[in-house]
Protein backbone atom coordinates (compact mmCIF):
# COMPACT_ATOMS: atom_id res chain seq x y z
CA UNK A 1 0.00 0.00 0.00
CA UNK A 2 1.44 3.34 -1.00
CA UNK A 3 1.31 6.55 0.99
CA UNK A 4 -1.31 7.94 -1.38
CA UNK A 5 -3.58 4.93 -0.86
CA UNK A 6 -3.19 5.17 2.90
CA UNK A 7 -4.11 8.87 2.93
CA UNK A 8 -7.09 8.26 0.65
CA UNK A 9 -8.41 5.51 2.94
CA UNK A 10 -7.78 7.75 5.95
CA UNK A 11 -9.90 10.47 4.32
CA UNK A 12 -12.68 7.97 3.64
CA UNK A 13 -12.51 6.76 7.25
CA UNK A 14 -12.64 10.31 8.63
CA UNK A 15 -15.59 11.20 6.41
CA UNK A 16 -17.43 8.02 7.43
CA UNK A 17 -16.84 8.72 11.13
CA UNK A 18 -18.13 12.28 10.70
CA UNK A 19 -21.22 11.05 8.86
CA UNK A 20 -21.86 8.47 11.58
CA UNK A 21 -21.59 11.15 14.25
CA UNK A 22 -24.04 13.43 12.42
CA UNK A 23 -26.62 10.66 12.06
CA UNK A 24 -26.35 9.14 15.54
CA UNK A 25 -25.66 11.91 18.03
CA UNK A 26 -28.43 14.01 19.55
CA UNK A 27 -26.33 16.88 20.90
CA UNK A 28 -26.01 19.85 18.54
CA UNK A 29 -22.36 20.44 19.41
CA UNK A 30 -21.47 16.85 18.55
CA UNK A 31 -23.31 17.17 15.24
CA UNK A 32 -21.27 20.31 14.52
CA UNK A 33 -18.08 18.38 15.35
CA UNK A 34 -19.13 15.62 12.92
CA UNK A 35 -19.60 18.19 10.16
CA UNK A 36 -16.14 19.61 10.88
CA UNK A 37 -14.68 16.11 10.68
CA UNK A 38 -16.27 15.60 7.25
CA UNK A 39 -14.87 18.95 6.05
CA UNK A 40 -11.39 17.97 7.24
CA UNK A 41 -11.65 14.67 5.38
CA UNK A 42 -12.57 16.58 2.23
CA UNK A 43 -9.53 18.84 2.77
CA UNK A 44 -7.27 15.82 3.11
CA UNK A 45 -8.55 14.43 -0.19
CA UNK A 46 -8.21 17.81 -1.94
CA UNK A 47 -4.57 18.10 -0.90
CA UNK A 48 -3.98 14.45 -1.82
CA UNK A 49 -5.41 14.94 -5.32
CA UNK A 50 -3.38 18.13 -5.67
CA UNK A 51 -0.25 16.11 -4.88
CA UNK A 52 -1.00 13.84 -7.84
CA UNK A 53 -1.43 16.74 -10.27
CA UNK A 54 0.62 19.81 -11.03
CA UNK A 55 -0.61 23.18 -9.79
CA UNK A 56 -1.99 24.64 -6.60
CA UNK A 57 -5.72 24.17 -7.23
CA UNK A 58 -6.30 21.52 -4.57
CA UNK A 59 -4.47 23.48 -1.89
CA UNK A 60 -6.40 26.65 -2.72
CA UNK A 61 -9.69 24.76 -2.51
CA UNK A 62 -8.59 23.26 0.81
CA UNK A 63 -7.77 26.74 2.13
CA UNK A 64 -11.20 27.95 1.03
CA UNK A 65 -12.88 24.98 2.77
CA UNK A 66 -10.92 25.74 5.97
CA UNK A 67 -12.12 29.35 5.88
CA UNK A 68 -15.72 28.26 5.35
CA UNK A 69 -15.40 25.71 8.18
CA UNK A 70 -14.14 28.37 10.59
CA UNK A 71 -17.01 30.69 9.75
CA UNK A 72 -19.51 27.83 9.96
CA UNK A 73 -18.18 26.81 13.37
CA UNK A 74 -18.34 30.35 14.75
CA UNK A 75 -21.89 30.96 13.54
CA UNK A 76 -23.01 27.44 14.51
CA UNK A 77 -21.68 27.72 18.05
CA UNK A 78 -23.27 31.17 18.44
CA UNK A 79 -26.64 29.81 17.33
CA UNK A 80 -26.34 26.75 19.56
CA UNK A 81 -25.47 28.90 22.59
CA UNK A 82 -28.42 31.22 21.93
CA UNK A 83 -30.83 28.30 21.51
CA UNK A 84 -29.47 26.67 24.67
CA UNK A 85 -29.95 29.91 26.58
CA UNK A 86 -33.60 30.07 25.49
CA UNK A 87 -34.61 26.37 25.66
CA UNK A 88 -32.12 25.06 28.26
CA UNK A 89 -31.35 22.15 25.92
CA UNK A 90 -28.86 21.48 23.14
CA UNK A 91 -30.77 18.48 21.77
CA UNK A 92 -32.26 19.41 18.37
CA UNK A 93 -35.25 17.05 18.82
CA UNK A 94 -36.46 18.97 21.89
CA UNK A 95 -36.55 22.29 20.10
CA UNK A 96 -39.88 22.20 18.35
CA UNK A 97 -40.88 25.84 18.01
CA UNK A 98 -38.86 28.94 17.34
CA UNK A 99 -41.59 31.51 17.84
CA UNK A 100 -42.10 33.08 21.24
CA UNK A 101 -45.51 32.75 22.83
CA UNK A 102 -47.20 35.99 23.78
Instruction: Kindly report, residue by residue over 60-91, the tens digit of the pLDDT.
Output: 888 888 888 888 888 988 988 888 888 887 77
CATH class, domain 3-94, is mainly alpha
pLDDT for residue 100: 62
Return the beta strands (E) in the chain as ranges: none
**With contact defined as beta carbons under 8 Å apart, do 31 and 25 qualify?**
yes
Q: Is the pLDDT of residue 14 over 90?
A: yes
- What are all long-range contacts of 41-48, with beta carbons under 8 Å and residues at least 24 apart? 41/11, 41/12, 41/13, 41/14, 41/15, 42/11, 42/15, 44/7, 44/10, 44/11, 44/14, 45/8, 45/11, 48/4, 48/7, 48/8, 48/11
**pLDDT tens digits, one per residue of 16-40:** 999 999 999 888 888 889 998 998 9
In this prediction the pTM is 0.76
Amino acid sequence: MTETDFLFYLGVLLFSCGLLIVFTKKNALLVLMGIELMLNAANLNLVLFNKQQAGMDGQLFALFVILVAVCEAAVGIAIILRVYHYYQSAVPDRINNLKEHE
